[in-house]
Structure 1
């Protein structure tokens, strides 16, 4: 049950809708090399200036950089700076919708305009939830290259060990046309990816915090990392095709050491690809769709 004080605070959050900030970053060969090593990419070629950055790799750019004194207990930047001060203590990445407009090239100087698009309180089975959607428009010297909407969910309490490790409800049968080899995100892979993103969220590297405070059974794999693995699979399995759109939804936590694979199949029309990330135990942790770009 939401208290009167919390309800009033949630109403006040609507004043944050429309707020924006602008940040910049540079796509360096070193960043591409480090990300390639982290995910053990199988792409050919070297990362020279002027070459195209693989789609989705831009996701490690534009980290939020704040002094350590301005971090919350969970390792995230404290709320109320750009993101609104949602009066709920737990924060997780829920999904994203991406439109690829033009290629990003190594050496590009990029600008990102981030705008709070919506704030939506909801009532979940475990208590109140708040979904915050942030729209990012990324530009290089020639114009817009990517438009992305990210959904962040805030909840009132930790998942708890029982609910965090519970098996997800049986998903509809997925008749995959392609399957990746098994992937295991160990603590080093999770740490390296978090470091590239400058992501201080303690559930990704602090095992006592993840298990004893947030109630998870193990370290949590970054939602962005599993989405990146999914898009890498699409590139390999579907003949290196360029994508015009990608949508992902995180449906359950993925944990350190849990073997998983990416599965994909064609959708309702020739340009659509459906995919999912599924553990060896049969738990779907991410669902998504993509559209192939017309060359």
Structure 2
């Protein structure tokens, strides 16, 4: 990927106000009360609901993502996914605050996997409400070749045996709502014909960030110490129409959490707490 060396180090900044309505809407969509008010701490990972990058129709690709080029390098592979990331929570962000997000491309790397050529782009984001960086985040984006065969739909199975367990029905309404709240136009999450016929998935794909949000909320409800770090990685896609188990348990320094459909884990994550510092 030497053609994209010039993209490494590129940086851009955007500013947004953490409107309560957006975070409350996600809370309600997930079964919560939606009673947050200005001055309350922003729930962990709800910062993904802000800093929309809205493009006009001419600025979109066929998949609904912003067209390639601009800030991110124009990698010549058709499928793009959010593969994982790492976050450090330095201090709370408060609802109602104006926050600046500074994004920098850290690396562009090409690899060969069992599905063909992969290109990983890692981007660092720093969020600051005027009192120093509150969240440091690294996102791993992966670009892939076209699918050679359709994936099977997972077979529903009994709930895993684990310390913490919740079940979520990732139905089309929930996926649509999360797409709307994050201004994520990727058609695999709400356009079933496109997901099946163009990208060879067996159904609508559950957002990786949505799974991560469910996981960190599960950990926060069950841990006594504040969460200071979160690292997550997608292992295989999750789909609508099959119960999604949100699982986990305590570990040294925090917790290990994961999502699971059938017998396979979809996303795995490690949670670090202040007591581990």
TM-score (norm: length of structure 2) = 0.93
Match of 1:89 among 69, 74, 78: 78
Match of 2:43 among 45, 49, 54: 54
Matched, 1:186 2:171: yes
**Alpha-carbon distance in 1 for matches of 2:149, 2:18:** 39
The alignment's C-alpha RMSD in Å is 1.8
Matched, 1:213 2:198: yes
Matched, 1:31 2:22: yes
**Alpha-carbon distance in 2 for matches of 1:156, 1:51:** 43
Aligned equivalent of 1:144: 133
Structure 2 portions without partners, runs of 5+: none
Aligned length: 272
Q: Which secondary structure state, in structure 2, belongs to the residue aligned with residue 134 of structure 1? A: strand
Deviations 1:110-130 (A, max 9, x none): 000000001110001121100
**Alpha-carbon distance in 1 for matches of 2:65, 2:146:** 16
Superposed counterparts of 1:98-177, under 5 Å: 98-158=87-147, 160-161=149-150, 164-165=151-152, 176-177=162-163
Aligned equivalent of 2:259: 277
Deviations 1:58-78 (A, max 9, x none): 121112221111100000001
**Alpha-carbon distance in 1 for matches of 2:51, 2:207:** 16
**Alpha-carbon distance in 1 for matches of 2:116, 2:154:** 20
Aligned equivalent of 1:18: 9
Aligned equivalent of 2:188: 203
**Alpha-carbon distance in 2 for matches of 1:167, 1:221:** 13
The Cα of 1:49 is off from its aligned counterpart by 0.9
Aligned equivalent of 1:69: 58
Deviations 1:104-162 (A, max 9, x none): 1111100000000011100011211000000000100211110000001001112631x
Aligned equivalent of 2:247: 263
Match of 1:238 among 214, 219, 223: 223
**Alpha-carbon distance in 2 for matches of 1:207, 1:159:** 18
Aligned equivalent of 1:293: 274
**Alpha-carbon distance in 1 for matches of 2:133, 2:148:** 38
Structure 1 portions without partners, runs of 5+: 1-9, 169-173
**Alpha-carbon distance in 2 for matches of 1:283, 1:152:** 22
Structure 1 consecutive aligned stretches of length 4 or more whose deviation exceeds 4 Å: none
Q: Does structure 2 conserve the Cα–Cα contact (< 8 Å) formed by 1:159 and 1:216?
A: no
